Amino acid sequence: MRSFIDIPDFSKDELLDLMVLAEDIAQSPEKYAESCKGKKLATLFFEPSTRTRLSFEAAMLELGGSVLGFSDPDSSSASKGESVSDTTRIVSCYADIIAMRHPLEGAPFVGSLSATVPVINAGDGGHCHPTQTLADLFTIKREKGSVDNLTVGFCGDLRYGRTVHSLISALSMFENVKVVLISPEELRLPEFIRKGVLEAHGMTYRETRSLEESLPELDVLYMTRIQRERFDDVTMYERLKDSYVLTLEKLNLAKRDTCVLHPLPRVNEISVKVDADPRACYFKQAENGKYMRKALILKLLSKESLSSTENNEMFESEKHYCANPKCISKTEQEITNYFIKDKKDNIRCAYCEVGAIEKED
Ligand code: NCD
């Protein structure tokens, strides 16, 4: 059985196939109207959401299935202290597939280890958000014709912006993609993506603070919200919250066919006046998310995915520990100390990908 926890769970060909399927679903939704008849999707949302949860639910309903779940963790047994692992094990008795969002990094992965149905990561803390990436890739493909040979700029909160991490991970599978990282010093891309993905795949990238200076070279501009809920220091948030605002004047420095994306919700990163510009693709992106989520549900519930045996390269170690206080391994009871080796042989926590620390004897 396969789950979808992080982008590398799928090959490039599988991502391309999902986009082909999503295009067909978008063109002929009636063909798929009964594809999930009798199947149930459980949405377990331990963090707020509008687009992700509702598009998952709409996707399953449009496939002829039904949905159950919660959007407020205080109404679930998590508030009584139930572990993530027990929650997904139990929900597996009631649903055929689970979509889970959680504030702790690695929580959906932990859930997938005890679930007996496929688990989809709908966002885990500041780590990753692979189904948003499906929406992003499909939008880039539809708007630019291909995901290859593009210069993609990421602007804003690259440190806590989980959608940025997953999209960079996906772009590393495509040909000749250049990345421009636009952020304040405090919100630079974390090491597990900079070293673990960009450098490990030999991608061309540069870091800058200036949006204006970068705009003329970008084929895609990916704006992000400064993630207030992830800051430990509120004063730092207040200082950084208005770092970048895309106005029409600034957008005029960009190419005529630059595609402007944003996972949404926006706070004030994109002026409302930009919405009418043909380069603004973020509302289409939200719609595209539903088509890709329909394709994903169909894939994970297919006979082939349900019968597949997973091949995970993680290993147990008592000699290492995870340094990330926001990792699920810090709170989940009796969790196994699993680690992975990245392409450069660095040892990382298998749950949140932060570099592991070797214990002193
Ligand atoms: C994003 C998220 O939750 O990470 N939203 C979404 O799922 N579309 C981005 C954000 O909250 O800023």
Contacts of 125 (CB under 8 A, 6+ apart): 102, 103, 104, 105, 107, 162, 230, 326, 352
Q: Residue 348 catalytic?
A: no
188 lines ligand 1 (CB under 6 A): no
Question: How confident is the model over 265-278, as a mean pLDDT?
Answer: 97
Q: Which of 2, 39, 43, 52 is catalytic?
A: 52
162 lines ligand 1 (CB under 6 A): yes
On whether both 189 and 278 belong to a single domain, the answer is yes
On whether both 48 and 79 belong to a single domain, the answer is yes
pLDDT score of 310 more than 80: no
Provide the CB-side half-sphere exposure for 336 (13 A, CA).
13
Is 37 within a domain?
yes
39 lines ligand 1 (CB under 6 A): no
pLDDT score of 142 more than 90: yes
Pocket test for ligand 1, best of 49, 128, 132 (most atoms within 8 A of CB): 132
Question: How confident is the model over 209-234, as a mean pLDDT?
Answer: 97
On whether both 18 and 114 belong to a single domain, the answer is yes
What is the model's pLDDT at position 342?
86
Contacts of 129 (CB under 8 A, 6+ apart): 52, 121, 122, 123, 162, 163, 165, 166, 263
On whether both 299 and 179 belong to a single domain, the answer is no
Share of residues in the chain with pLDDT > 70 (%) = 100
Hey, how many other C-beta atoms are within 10 angstroms of the C-beta on 249?
10
Is 330 within a domain?
yes
On whether both 81 and 111 belong to a single domain, the answer is yes
Structural domain harbouring 194: 149-283
Q: Looking at 60-64, 151-155, 339-343, which range is the least confident one?
A: 339-343
What is the model's pLDDT at position 77?
83
Is 24 within a domain?
yes
Q: Give the CATH number, domain containing residue 343.
A: 2.30.30
Contacts of 106 (CB under 8 A, 6+ apart): 124, 127, 327, 328, 329, 349, 350, 351, 352
What is the model's pLDDT at position 307?
92
Q: Give the CATH number, domain containing residue 236.
A: 3.40.50.1370
Is 251 within a domain?
yes
Determine which residue's CA is closest to atom 7 belonging to ligand 1: 52
Is 136 within a domain?
no
Question: How confident is the model over 89-94, as a mean pLDDT?
Answer: 98
pLDDT score of 233 more than 80: yes
Using DSSP bridges, classify how beta strands 97-102 and 66-70 pair: parallel, antiparallel or unpaired: unpaired
Helix, strand, coil percentages, rounded to 5, for the chain: 40, 20, 40
106 lines ligand 1 (CB under 6 A): no
What is the model's pLDDT at position 81?
87
What is the model's pLDDT at position 87?
96
Q: How far apart are alpha carbons 196 and 341 in whole angstroms? A: 10
Is 2 within a domain?
no
163 lines ligand 1 (CB under 6 A): yes
Number of domains comprising the chain: 3
Q: Residue 129 catalytic?
A: yes
On whether both 347 and 236 belong to a single domain, the answer is no
On whether both 67 and 44 belong to a single domain, the answer is yes
Model's pTM, two decimal places?
A: 0.96
Contacts of 307 (CB under 8 A, 6+ apart): 1
Is 134 within a domain?
no
Q: Which two tokens stand for residue 299?
A: 């894939």
On whether both 153 and 276 belong to a single domain, the answer is yes
Q: Residue 142 catalytic?
A: no
What tens digit of pLDDT does each residue of 326-342 get?
A: 999 999 988 999 999 98
Question: How confident is the model over 244-267, as a mean pLDDT?
Answer: 97
* Average pLDDT of the residues of the chain: 96
Question: How confident is the model over 155-163, as a mean pLDDT?
Answer: 98
Reported confidence tier of residue 356, pLDDT bands at 50, 70, 90: very high
On whether both 156 and 274 belong to a single domain, the answer is yes
Between 73 and 4, where is the model more confident? 4
pLDDT score of 157 more than 90: yes
Is 197 within a domain?
yes
52 lines ligand 1 (CB under 6 A): yes
What tens digit of pLDDT does each residue of 103-126 get?
A: 999 999 999 999 999 999 999 999
User: Residue type for 227, please?
Assistant: Q
pLDDT score of 312 more than 80: no
Pocket test for ligand 1, best of 129, 284, 293 (most atoms within 8 A of CB): 129
On whether both 202 and 110 belong to a single domain, the answer is no
Q: Which of 2, 40, 53, 101 is catalytic?
A: 101
Q: Which of 39, 102, 129, 326 is catalytic?
A: 129
What is the model's pLDDT at position 361?
73
On whether both 276 and 291 belong to a single domain, the answer is no
On whether both 329 and 301 belong to a single domain, the answer is no
Reported confidence tier of residue 261, pLDDT bands at 50, 70, 90: very high
